[in-house]
Structure formats: structure tokens, C-alpha cells
A and B are shown apart, each in its own frame.
Chain A
Amino acid sequence: MSVATTQSGSPQGRGGSGSGNLYDILDLILDKGLVIDVFVRVSLVGIELITIDARIVVASVDTYLRFAEACNRLDLNQASNATTLPDLVGDVTEKGSKGKTKGALTGAAETFAEQFQKSSGKDEREEQEARPRSRGRRSARSE
């Protein structure tokens, strides 16, 4: 069963925003839209890091090994139409060997989602939220 998670609601009032949906359109808000060259852009430190994370495309020996392992543990005799979505999710999160519980395809996306939710769950007024993490240890950070 695949899921088309179309927005619900009345045709006029539907939108893409809302806390649960903002994540899926961040790429459009941050990378698309009209730009006027002579104007500046507000600092996106922190937010930029998140979107860079989202674009990590894994194509490596590590991925290949994980695909091989994943194929090895698949039971092809299991009737595929008897596998419900919750079962599949369970496969990915529970059957993964040796603690490598994230599938190679979904791992980075989950990381992004977790990271975004984590940062959005913080107190909105917390100043560190938008600081560049890579430089978070600078001694110049005056309190």
C-alpha cells in the first residue's frame, strides 16, 4: 500500500504549511521563489546546514554493502501483497542488523526530519538555534 499524503481539508482552504508540513516544502521556500539581485538575504546559518544535510546523496561502498545485506535478509517467499505498510516500517526499523536500523534510502531523510523537529521543538527564543554548529565552540561567543 502506498500512501499519497495529499493535504486534507476544503479545496479553498488547503495549504502546504502547518507544523507537520513545513518540512516537506522547505526546499521550495529556501531555494525557489523570486530573487531581486540587489537585495540581500537574511542570515540562514543553521537553516542552511539543515538543507545541506538533506541533500547528502549516499552512493558509496557502504551503501552497496547495506543493499547486499538488505537483499540477503529479504524473504522473497513472503507474499508481497500480504505485507502492510506498518510491517514494512517494522522491517526497516527492527530487523536491521547490528543496530544499523535505517535503510540506506531513508536514513538521511530521517536524520533531516529528526534534526528539524529537534530544532523546531526548542524554545523559539533560544539564540543558539540559528548559530552555525560548526563554529559553536568559538571562544569569541560572548555571553
Chain B
Amino acid sequence: MSTYLYGIVAAAHPARVDGLTGVGEEPGPVRTIEAGELKAVVGDVDAQLRAKRRDLLAHETVLEALCLQGAVLPMRFGVVAEDDGSVAREVAARQEEYRGTLSDVDGRVEMNLKVSHHEDAVLRAVLIEDAGLRQLNEDLRERGGGTPDERVRFGETVAAALAEREAQDAAAIVTAVEAHARRQSDGPAVSGCFLNRSFLVDRGEIENFEAAVNAVSRSMGEVADIRTRGPLPPYSFADSPQPA
């Protein structure tokens, strides 16, 4: 058996984890390990654990429960230590750093925005805005699409216009919501989305943050699709900020 890590909390965190289902094919109880002035929230797993969807869900569910009870540093999915002793040792060894980060995220949650364009709507928008592109489009259409070379060049110009539009919309969205956030962090590139960004938001600001998202979403009409996820455990803010 190995020790699976869900997250790190302060010693004073209630860490009520009874009844939660952990990762693994036959999940054991979720429990805590004392580590200096911190607690690590852990479970036992088979060292040969092969991650499945249910495990991702279990990881997230445990962390959401902890997040509702107080500040938590969520681990990335899948971190496994040899045994409880090594967890206690490693966490205690860095407790100053972890306590600092815990106080950064205390009372705050992660809100993630993923934004994509509806293709036909955004194409229509860029053509309507750009008379030159519109003329080219009509010209090519009248000639049955034009030569392959012309079509590629036209498509490339359209792609550039779309990229510009994405940059504009991303900036507008960030400007609209960032007043309600403490920090922000870009997520990994997700296909189809031109913006994938997380915001660290005070619990008391969640409603205002969501209202700002809804307002900017309305202002963009049918062109942009903004998907908001949260409140989430602060995955994107669990590492101490890198010194510049």
C-alpha cells in the first residue's frame, strides 16, 4: 500500500472527511496525517493504481469538501508517497512555504473561464466588420470558390482576423472580471478555447464575479461561449508564487 495525497490544510482545519469515497478500485477511508502545524489529507492506495475517471472524480470531491471547510492546498491529481512517514516528513519540512500559500488562498476560491467562439457567428462578425474580407469572399464565391491557392490565402487571412478577434475578446473578458479577483493564472491550452484562465476570487466576491461574466457574455452576443467553472479548490494557486 502507498499513501495517496489529496491536499494540505492547516492543523486547525476541521478536515471532516468521514464518509467520503477516495481513489482506488476499493477505496479506503480518507484520513489525515499530522505534519508539523499542518495536516495532509490522504488515503491508502494500491501502488499499482491505474487512474480512471472515478478516481479523478473522487479526488475532486474530497478537495471540494475540504475547500468548503477552510483553506486547502489541492494536490495535483495522482501524487503518491511511499508511506505516511514520508508524507509527514516532506510536508513538515516545507511547512513555512505551505502555510504562506494557505494564507494566500484562505477565504478564496478558484473560478475558471474557458472561452470559445461559435464558428459561424464569429466568421459572420469578422466578415461584416471587414469590407475587404467581405469583398474577397464574394469574389471567390462568384467564381465557385476560386483556385486552391486563392482559397488557402483567403482562409489564412480569415484565420488572422479570427486570431485578432480572439485576442480582443480575451482582453475584454479579462478586463471585465479581473476587478473581482485577487490573482489570475492561465490554464493549459485547451483545444477550441482561445482563453482558459483561472481567477482567485474572495468568497464574498463570487456573485459579483459571476455577474461580471454574465454581463460581458451578453455584450458579446452569440459570438462567444464563456464557460464558468467554480467555486473550485485553488488548483492554479497552490504553488507559492515564483519570485520574478
- Residue positions of A touching B, CB distance < 8 A: 1-7, 11-12, 14-17, 19, 21-22, 24-36, 38-47, 51, 53-59, 61, 63-72, 74, 76, 80-81, 83, 85, 88, 91-92, 103-110, 112, 116, 119-120, 124-125, 129-130
Find out whether the CB atom of B214 lies under 8 angstroms from the CB atom of A22.
no
In the assembled complex, the CB of A143 is this many whole angstroms from the nearest CB of chain B, namely 17
Given A16-B64, A32-B235, the answer on whether A41 and B152 have CB atoms closer than 8 Å is no
In the assembled complex, the CB of A111 is this many whole angstroms from the nearest CB of chain B, namely 8
Find out whether the CB atom of B229 lies under 8 angstroms from the CB atom of A24.
yes
Look across to chain A and name the residue whose beta carbon is closest to the beta carbon of B77. A29
Find out whether the CB atom of B79 lies under 8 angstroms from the CB atom of A36.
yes
Given contacts A22-B57, A71-B133, A105-B192, 10 further A-B contacts (CB under 8 A): A2-B226, A14-B231, A16-B112, A30-B78, A42-B51, A57-B191, A67-B162, A92-B120, A103-B120, A124-B53
Find out whether the CB atom of A31 lies under 8 angstroms from the CB atom of B51.
no
Find out whether the CB atom of B74 lies under 8 angstroms from the CB atom of A33.
yes
What are 28 A-B contacts with C-beta separation under 8 Å? A4-B210, A4-B228, A6-B210, A6-B228, A11-B207, A22-B53, A25-B232, A27-B190, A30-B76, A31-B187, A34-B74, A41-B78, A42-B80, A43-B51, A54-B190, A55-B191, A58-B191, A64-B153, A65-B151, A71-B158, A74-B120, A74-B124, A76-B128, A85-B118, A91-B120, A107-B192, A124-B54, A129-B52
Look across to chain A and name the residue whose beta carbon is closest to the beta carbon of B72. A34
Chain B residues within an 8 Å CB radius of A63: 155, 159
Find out whether the CB atom of A27 lies under 8 angstroms from the CB atom of B188.
yes
Chain B residues within an 8 Å CB radius of A35: 75-76, 79, 239
How many residues does chain B have at the interface if contact means C-beta atoms less than 8 Å apart?
Answer: 98
Look across to chain A and name the residue whose beta carbon is closest to the beta carbon of B4. A42
> Quick one: which of B59-93 are within 8 Å of A by CB?
59-61, 64, 68, 73-82, 86, 90-91
Find out whether the CB atom of B155 lies under 8 angstroms from the CB atom of A106.
no
Find out whether the CB atom of B159 lies under 8 angstroms from the CB atom of A105.
no
Look across to chain A and name the residue whose beta carbon is closest to the beta carbon of B76. A33
A69–B145 Cα gap in the complex (Å)? 8
A64–B153 Cα gap in the complex (Å)? 8
- The answer to whether B183 has its CB under 8 Å from any CB of chain A is no
Find out whether the CB atom of B75 lies under 8 angstroms from the CB atom of A27.
no
Chain B residues within an 8 Å CB radius of A125: 25
Chain A residues within an 8 Å CB radius of B188: 27, 31, 51, 55
A72–B125 Cα gap in the complex (Å)? 14
In the assembled complex, the CB of A34 is this many whole angstroms from the nearest CB of chain B, namely 4
- The answer to whether B170 has its CB under 8 Å from any CB of chain A is no
A71 interface neighbour in B76, B127, B189, B239, Cβ under 8 Å: B127
- The answer to whether B213 has its CB under 8 Å from any CB of chain A is yes
Find out whether the CB atom of A39 lies under 8 angstroms from the CB atom of B81.
yes
Find out whether the CB atom of A12 lies under 8 angstroms from the CB atom of B119.
no
For B186-215 the 0/1 string (1 means CB < 8 A from A) is: 011111110010100000001100100110
